[in-house]
Chain A
Amino acid sequence: MDGWWGCYNTVLIADKQQKKSRIHDPGEVSVWFRKCSSVQNQRFTETLVKMPGADKETDLSERIESFLSELKRCGSGAGSLRGSAETARETTALLRRITAQARWSNAGDLMEIIRKEGRRMTAAQPSETTVGNMVRRVLKIIREEYARSRGSTEEADQQESLHKLLTSGGSSEDNFRQHFAHLKANIIEAINELLTELEGTTDNISMQALEHIHSNEVIMTIGRSRTVEAFLKDAARKRKFHVMVAECAPFCQGHEMATSLSKEDIETTVIPDAAIFAVMSRVNKVIIGTQTVLANGGLRAVNGTHTLALAAKHHSTPLIVCAPMFKLSPQFPNEEDTFHKFVSPHEVLPFTEGEILSKVNAHCPLFDYVPPELITLFISNIGGNAPSYIYRLMSELYHPEDHEL
């Protein structure tokens, strides 16, 4: 919808019930007109004259829709078509755009909008947890900026001391209703910082590679993780070592990883999944990536990782997980029905076995749960941590009220 027509229709649409979510009810429309005249929203005023203001709204909604449909599409399990880092970056960019372009007068409104969009995004692809993580990070940013604008120190607000819990009661229910002039700019700046941080995560992790890998080591990994790939390539510039890649059937992403590593002159061997325990006695370290780091320090990683972790534990081989901070999710692994994700069983038992297909159940789960006892070390962009410390990192990244979007 282009400028004039869009603006006109937006007002009309307000009276009708439409399928699209960018319905603006009459009350909101008046708010919108009122806001357009405020000094703070010069941009909106200008655009009102030219009438592409509604264009921005539709533009924003279109972007959100396209992002959602992409999320839905890339969940087919053939490895993510886009890495988690890309997803995180796009989510954050989208949230920044929402902050910039949506109509809100106080932090509470913004948080409501973001929460609503966040719910829709996580519903589109529940297994893609980085989306939800980024939403929670932005919500935390909003809270912080609001608190800073209000003048209260961060410490006092965030400390959940027992005394505070008793005395303050329902803490900041309507605290986010105040209006601050520079709140939007501050929030957008903070989100920009977050984006910069996201862009540097892989490099930050790779920089730590030389501390952990020394010469003539045999390192085992499973499947394909871009973080681990960068990690190993960085270490290979200075040290010589041998890598064994478990191919991770049925998608065999390990093959891609092996070819990519061998191009950098790293001695690589591809082994089938069944040989993981057989060769583990010669392996010095196991370095893996993961899809999600759970709140208890456990992992939700590609299937086969639990077997790998058990084999490493049996041989007392350290298990190192390279995971950037945006993969840390406040979920716990106890929700059986939401934890697993399955794809078509024809990957496991192809349709050529037609005679027996109808009489057989075939399963193709994508993820494995790895309990924190099997993990030795987490390497993230802020340094190395033990699994027992993850709960603390989480409290720094997310606000407890945002754990449930």
Chain B
Amino acid sequence: MADSDGRQVVSINHSTEEDVKLQEVVQAKCEGKELTKEEKQRLRKEKKQHKKNKKDDRGPPEKEKEKEKASVLAPSKPATQSPAHKAAPVPVNASASESPVAAEKPAKSKAEQRAERRARQDTERASKQGKKEGGQQSASSKPKATPNELQPVKRLPEHIQVDDPAALKKLAKKLERQQVPLRSDYGYKVSLFSHLHQYSRKNPPTQQISIPATVIHPSIVRLGLQYSQGIIAGSNARSVALLHAFKQVIQDYSTPPNEELSRDLVNKLSPYISFLSQCRPLSASMGNAIKYIKKEISNIPSQCKEEEAKRRLQECIDSYINEKIILASEAISKYAIEKISDGDVILVYGCSSLVNHILCEAFEKQRKFRVIVVDSRPRLEGREALRRLVKKGIRCTYVLISALSYILPEVSKVFLGAHALLANGYVMSRVGTSQIALVAKAYNVPVLVCCETYKFCERVQTDSFESNELDDPDDLIVTRNGKTHLENWQTVKSLGLLNLVYDVTPPDFVDLVITDLGMIPCTSVPVVLRVKNVDQ
């Protein structure tokens, strides 16, 4: 795309040798759009250093390019999109539109441009510090918040734009630059979900990485592999593992000369995050954790020594885990135990670490209840929950989700875990949760969702199609009585397998949400988010 637009630029400028180089430079610039201002600054510095080795006629095109960059930055900011998230068409179009304009303008003096740019960057950074970015989109690449008070509409994250070839190309280029392997989709995708990735567990993303990986820290490689193979699953577990891996990364980090820790470390983290999202799309909790870390890193004052800064960061991470996850679950258990009375029959679905914790605590506090664990193919996570509860000594019953209508008349309460709580009150959780809530509502059984506040996110979604995750379709294949019907599903043209991971539950099915801030109705989620924003 950049090439073609570069060529457009060339055609408009009546191609000359200079313009051919301009085209290369425009291409580099388009890639450079994804760099932060610091990176661009560094790029500029490097180019200045190598200026002696370059030909003289590269100079003016550079200036033009820089000027174009500056001029393009100006219109793109008020275009209500954070500079960190630009889809390919916009900068390319902007560049295409700007470059003829820029070519017509006479080159300003370098000093003026630099002064202009620095002033702009300083104002931006000042406004950035006080703002919090919302949403999961920011977690995928850059953390810088927009300067506006009311968050403008966020750019679409890459992982729900798989059907857009422009977005795919942009992602491929970005990954190439970061030296992160690109994972390819697998198998026939159901047409309704063509906008999502579908990976196979048999092709881990680490196949293409050389050993030792130069760009990606080994603990991150290990983490990514654990995610993609499903060894670490569950949003709390994934977040905690991520934070521990980042602690390791910070421990091993050393600031290169002429760089500030607060800027450079954030840049170092970007390829790691890209790699992890290639292994498995980031969860809302992971996104919030990453945002927090990046904010903490960029808040490190520049005069702080490296050791001091590292120690401070480690402490921040530890306190985050402690507050948001461990203490939060204690608080939630306290509230939830009030809701469990003697003689209750409690239904749980799948394996939620928080719900298991609540039940174990309640059992220790001598509440008399029994538990029904509902499970579903193909993940069969309920068996893990069953093992933990039985080990504790709780009386359990186990059924599959198709037997829900049979078992529900016995049930007095339903406890569900959540993967994320969306800003419009919808609960995003493991696929099947909405079904449980639906049938429980039909039988007038109260549904209680337990969720920590760090999982609240500002996304909105009304059904399970818009943003979801497609798991390996081969998981659905099963052998019964020696016959495997779906064995050769790939060869049959009109047969597709769909293995969804998440679904959203409408708020009218949920009676109560138990969080560490208290017991709230589903619709109060945006209130909590706003309160948290103001606090931070």
Which A residues are within 8 Å of any B CB, using their own CB? 78, 244, 247-252, 255-256, 258-259, 262-263, 265-279, 281-282, 303-304, 306-307, 310-311, 314, 340, 348-349, 353, 355-356, 359-365, 368-369
Tell me which residues across on chain A come within 8 A of B190, comparing CB atoms.
269
Chain A residues whose CB sits within 8 angstroms of the CB of B503 once the complex forms: 275, 277-278
CB distance from A272 to the nearest CB of B (A): 5
B497 engages A269 (CB within 8 Å): yes
Chain B residue with Cβ nearest A362? B398
A265 in contact with B500 given A255-B486, A340-B406, A356-B387 (CB within 8 Å):
no
What residues on A are CB-neighbors of B431 within 8 Å?
272, 274-275, 278
**6 pairs of residues in contact across A and B, judged by CB atoms under 8 Å:** A249-B401, A255-B485, A256-B485, A272-B378, A273-B377, A361-B396
Do the beta carbons of A307 and B399 come within 8 Å of each other? no
- Inter-chain CA distance A259–B491, complex, in Å, is 11
How far apart are A307's CB and chain B's nearest CB, in angstroms? Answer: 6
Across the interface, B402 reaches (CB within 8 A) one of A258, A262, A275, A304, namely: A304
In the complex, the answer to whether B486 meets A258 with C-beta atoms within 8 Å is yes
Within 8 A of A (CB), among B375-414: 376-378, 383, 386-387, 390, 395-407
Is A314 in contact with B438, judged by CB distance below 8 angstroms?
A: yes
> Is B20 interfacial (CB 8 A cutoff)?
no
Give Cα A262–Cα B464 distance, bound, in whole angstroms. Answer: 25
Q: Give chain A's interface secondary structure class.
A: mixed
Assess A348 versus B398: contact at CB under 8 Å? Given A251-B480, A266-B494, A314-B438: yes
- Indicate the member of A279, A282, A365 with the most B CB atoms within 10 Å: A279
Would you call B495 and A259 a contact (CB within 8 A)? yes
Inter-chain contact B494/A265, CB cutoff 8 Å: yes
Flag whether B481 is at the interface (Cβ < 8 A). Answer: yes
Whether A267 lies near B376 (C-beta < 8 A) is no
The reply to whether B496 and A268 contact each other, CB–CB distance below 8 Å, is yes
Question: Known contacts being A249-B377, A262-B494, A268-B494, is A362 close to B399, with CB within 8 Å?
Answer: yes
- Chain B hits for A256, CB < 8 A: 485
Name the interface residues of B471-502: CB closer than 8 Å to any CB of A: 476, 478, 480-481, 485-486, 489, 492-500
Q: Is the CB of B398 within 8 A of A275?
A: no
Instruction: Point out residues on B near A: beta carbons under 8 Å.
Output: 190, 192, 376-378, 383, 386-387, 390, 395-407, 430-432, 434-435, 438-439, 442, 463-465, 476, 478, 480-481, 485-486, 489, 492-500, 503-504
For A361, list chain B residues within 8 Å (CB): 396-398
* Docked pose: A226 CA to B95 CA in angstroms: 61
Q: Considering the chains assembled together, what is the distance between the CA atoms of A10 and B400 in angstroms? A: 54
Q: Which residue of A lies closest to B468 (CB)?
A: A278
Given the complex of chains A and B, what is the CA–CA distance between A259 and B267 in angstroms? 50
With beta carbons under 8 angstroms apart, the residue of B400, B464, B497 that contacts A348 is B400
Chain A min CB distance to B496 (Å): 4
**A365 and B403 contacting across the interface, CB-CB below 8 Å:** yes
CB–CB B396/A307 < 8 A: no
Across the interface, which residues of B come within 8 angstroms of A368, CB to CB? 405-406
| Interface contact A360-B390, CB-CB below 8 Å | yes
User: In the complex where A258-B486, A268-B495, A277-B503 touch, is A249 in contact with B435 (Cβ < 8 A)?
Assistant: no
A348 B494 Cβ-Cβ under 8 A: no
Contacting residues, chain B, for A307 (C-beta < 8 A)? 401-402, 404-405, 435, 438-439
Known: A270-B497, A348-B399, A362-B398. A306 touches B405 (CB 8 A): yes
The answer to whether B495 touches A258, judged by C-beta atoms less than 8 angstroms apart, is: yes
* Contact of B476 with A353 in the complex, beta carbons under 8 Å: no
- B-chain residues with CB within 8 Å of residue A247 when the two chains form the complex: 377, 476
How close is B328's CB to chain A, nearest CB, in angstroms? 27
A67 to chain B, nearest CB (A): 24
With both chains docked as a complex, state the minimum distance between the C-beta of A62 and any C-beta of chain B, in angstroms.
Answer: 30
Give complex CA distance A349, B399 in Å: 8
Docked CA distance A78–B482 (Å): 13
Please determine whether A272 and B476 come into contact, CB atoms closer than 8 angstroms.
yes
In the bound complex, CA of A1 to CA of B54 (Å): 109
Contact in complex: B476, A263 (CB < 8 Å): no
Partner of A269, one of B401, B406, B498: B498
Nearest opposing residue in chain A for B492, CB measure: A262
A327 → B minimal CB distance (Å):
20
**Distance to closest chain A CB from B394 (angstroms):** 9
Q: What B residues does A271 contact at CB under 8 A?
A: 498, 500
Chain B positions within 8 Å of A248 at CB level = 402
Q: Is the CB of A249 within 8 A of B396?
A: no
Residues in chain A near residue B397, CB distance under 8 A: 360-363
Query: Distance in Å from the Cβ of B408 to the closest Cβ of chain A?
Result: 9
Cα A274 to Cα B402 in complex, Å, equals 8
Q: Are A311 and B463 in contact (CB under 8 A)?
A: no
A360 to B500, CA, bound (A): 29
Contact (Cβ within 8 A) A369 B376: no
A243 CB → nearest B CB, Å: 9
A-chain residues with CB within 8 Å of residue B463 when the two chains form the complex:
278, 281
Chain A hits for B390, CB < 8 A: 356, 359-360
CA–CA, A307 to B404, complex, Å? 8
Known: A259-B492, A307-B439, A360-B390. A274 touches B398 (CB 8 A): no
Residue from the list A265, A282, A364, A365 in contact with B192, Cβ < 8 A? A282
In the complex, what distance in Å separates the CA atom of A366 from the CA atom of B367?
A: 33
State the Cβ distance, B490 to closest chain A Cβ, in Å: 12
- Chain B hits for A282, CB < 8 A: 192, 465
Query: Chain A residues with Cβ under 8 A from B497's Cβ?
Result: 269-270
**Which 8 pairs from chain A and chain B are nearest by CB?**
A274-B432, A304-B402, A306-B405, A274-B376, A278-B503, A262-B495, A255-B485, A278-B464
Are A272 and B399 neighbours in the complex by a CB distance under 8 Å?
no
The reply to whether B386 and A360 form a contact with Cβ atoms under 8 Å apart is: yes
Q: A251-B480, A356-B386, A364-B403 are in contact. List 6 more A-B contacts (CB 8 A).
A: A244-B498, A272-B431, A278-B435, A278-B503, A279-B500, A363-B403
